Amino acid sequence: MIPFLTLARQVAGLRDELDRALDAVVDEQGFANGPAVGAFERELAGYLGVREVIAVNSGTSALHAALLCAGVGPGDEVITVAHTWISTVWAVSYVGARPVLVDVDPLTCGLDPRLVERAIGPRTRAILPVHLYGHPVDLDPVLALAARHGLPVIEDCAQSVGARYRGGQTGGFGRVNATSFYPGKNLGAFGEGGAVMTDDPALAARARRLRDHAQDGRHNHVEVGFNWRMDGLQGAVLSVKLRHLDRWNARRRAIAGRYLEGLAGTPGLELPRPQPWAEPIWHIFPVYHERRDALRAALEERGVQTGVHYPRPVHLQPAYAGLGLGPGALPVSERLARTEVSLPMFPELTDAEADAVVAAVRDACRGLAP
């Protein structure tokens, strides 16, 4: 069986490095937001080319913090997408704002810049694009619109650490941005983790306070705060893994290249179309088929495990029924949700395995011709 994702191979290759880093945290007892977390923050800031990184306990918390720091609150509206992991939209709800969900661009699977302008209204306070699957959103038109309307852009980089847009790192374009280190992400911890990124020292200072009970000096709580601290052990793991990230992302691109070449022209199968201005990192390698569930079953029979990201868009989730967006409201998002299949994608996948995936998909699609 070729797994959709396994972390075992990666850990096996890093065992000694990881053991030493974890031992150091135990020895110095820096368990909650200790020195290892501070070191990781500086290393990630250097890697991304941003002034400040604030490590927190999940990507969901990072998005929540980013929205608070961007000044979004009750009665405000935030423009974002329905074709995402639901945390993107939770964060808008957490701060008491209303998510205004727009459709995605089928070429990037991210926010469609052409749909943003007409979604902007008097209550709009931020625009929140998601670099889904590790492919950047077309940011220039979004940033231009945001500047024209005086709105902050907040990037959700939970699937895009190391991906570049026109040469610049995602996570370095918005006023305040967020990412996740959930174990399955392309930079994954040994548990939960996330980070806020910004070039603005005042926003960074507020994010740092908020994550530790909004303390400004010990026992001086200046607003309602949170316990969003990152575990020291996660900081240590992430520092080790960051040193390998570029190599891993390059390997993901090589696998994606093999898939794109091997699967070209497969009847009934739609492939992702990486854009010339994008350097995606392929957190997910999505393909599309009208008979998605049958394709997944046929692949399972041929020894290939797959995933779906995501089968139901946010506007059709019971939690967001109150938005009043029924089926048909966001047609591209709904089509992606109905047809998407994620093929095995992780840096330790071998060329032989990737070729076996290609052969299985081609064979399965032949059997599914309409």
Ligand X SMILES: *Cc1c(COP(=O)(O)O)cnc(C)c1O
Chain residues that interact with ligand X, rule: CB under 6 A: 58-60, 84-85, 87-88, 130, 156, 158-159, 180, 182, 192, 194
When the beta carbons of 184 and 268 are compared against ligand X, the nearer one is 184
When the beta carbons of 84 and 342 are compared against ligand X, the nearer one is 84
Give the torsion through C-alpha atoms of 146, 151, 152, 155, to 10 deg.
-50
When the beta carbons of 170 and 306 are compared against ligand X, the nearer one is 170
Beta bridge partners of 165: 168, 278
When the beta carbons of 92 and 358 are compared against ligand X, the nearer one is 92
Q: Phi/psi at 162 (nearest 5 deg)?
A: 100, -10
Q: Can you tell me the distance from the alpha carbon of 78 to that of 97, in angstroms, rounded to the nearest whole number?
A: 7
Under the phi-then-psi rule, with left for phi > 0, alpha for psi from -120 to 50, and beta for the rest, what region is 162? left
Residues 6+ apart with CB under 8 A from 247: 347
**Closest distance to ligand X from the beta carbon of 157 (Å):** 8
Helix axes 351-366, 292-301, angle to 10 degrees: 130
* C-alpha closest to that of 86 among 115, 63, 116, 117: 63
**Closest distance to ligand X from the beta carbon of 110 (Å):** 10
**Closest distance to ligand X from the beta carbon of 101 (Å):** 14
The residue whose Cβ lies closest to ligand X is 59
Cβ contact 83:102 at 8 Å? no
* C-alpha closest to that of 166 among 285, 280, 43: 280
When the beta carbons of 142 and 360 are compared against ligand X, the nearer one is 142
* Run of H or E including 91: helix 87-94
**Closest distance to ligand X from the beta carbon of 50 (Å):** 18
Query: How many CB atoms are located within 10 Å of the residue 92 CB?
Result: 26
Sheet holding 168-169, edge to edge: 168-169, 164-165, 278-279
**Closest distance to ligand X from the beta carbon of 47 (Å):** 19
**Closest distance to ligand X from the beta carbon of 158 (Å):** 3
Q: Can you tell me the distance from the alpha carbon of 195 to that of 63, in angstroms, rounded to the nearest whole number?
A: 9
Beta bridge partners of 102: 81
**Closest distance to ligand X from the beta carbon of 108 (Å):** 13
**Closest distance to ligand X from the beta carbon of 258 (Å):** 24
When the beta carbons of 228 and 248 are compared against ligand X, the nearer one is 228
When the beta carbons of 283 and 335 are compared against ligand X, the nearer one is 283
When the beta carbons of 85 and 259 are compared against ligand X, the nearer one is 85
When the beta carbons of 84 and 249 are compared against ligand X, the nearer one is 84
Determine the distance from the C-alpha atom of residue 325 to the mean position of all C-alpha atoms in its chain, rounded to a whole number: 24
**Closest distance to ligand X from the beta carbon of 359 (Å):** 29
* C-alpha closest to that of 287 among 275, 279, 295: 295
Beta bridge partners of 212: 227
Residues 6+ apart with CB under 8 A from 336: 83, 104, 106, 109, 286, 288
